[in-house]
Amino acid sequence: MSNSSRTLALLLGGMAFWLAGCSESKVNITGTIMKGGKPLVVSKETYVTLQFLPESVASEAQSNSYSASFDQSTGKFRLELSPGKYKTNFIMALPAKDGQMSRPLPPVKSATPYDLTKSQELTIEVP
């Protein structure tokens, strides 16, 4: 291998290492939404969303929220987000009856933030 080939290989290897170090790390969050001590199981027609909102953002208008994917048949959720402290916002809308539009139930917001600095499993109780 010539000097220029070695230099190029070292340069490319160093760039790959630098780029890998600069990428933002993510944590995997899984868990179950509970109601009355049991997993929240709902029909496929029921709309459910669980949002994670960074606590450090000064105003909600500037906030990036992360929505978890939710399995209606098991009550389990999962998402990937940047490490940090987050509050949750749970919204559910029951299926419409007799052709009328369904209004979502009032959102349930967490009072205290979750410290999500590593991958973990959560249990979130809703009323």
User: Is residue 117 assigned to a domain?
Assistant: yes
User: Is residue 11 assigned to a domain?
Assistant: no
User: Is residue 16 assigned to a domain?
Assistant: no
Supply the pTM of this predicted model: 0.72
Domain count, the chain: 1
User: pLDDT (tens digit, 9 = 90+) per residue, 15-55?
Assistant: 555 454 555 699 999 999 999 999 999 999 899 999 999 98
Q: What DSSP line would sit under 73-89, residue for residue?
A: TT-EEEEEE-SEEEEEE
* CATH, residue 102: 2.60.40.1120
User: pLDDT (tens digit, 9 = 90+) per residue, 68-123?
Assistant: 999 999 999 999 999 999 999 999 998 888 767 678 888 999 988 999 999 999 99
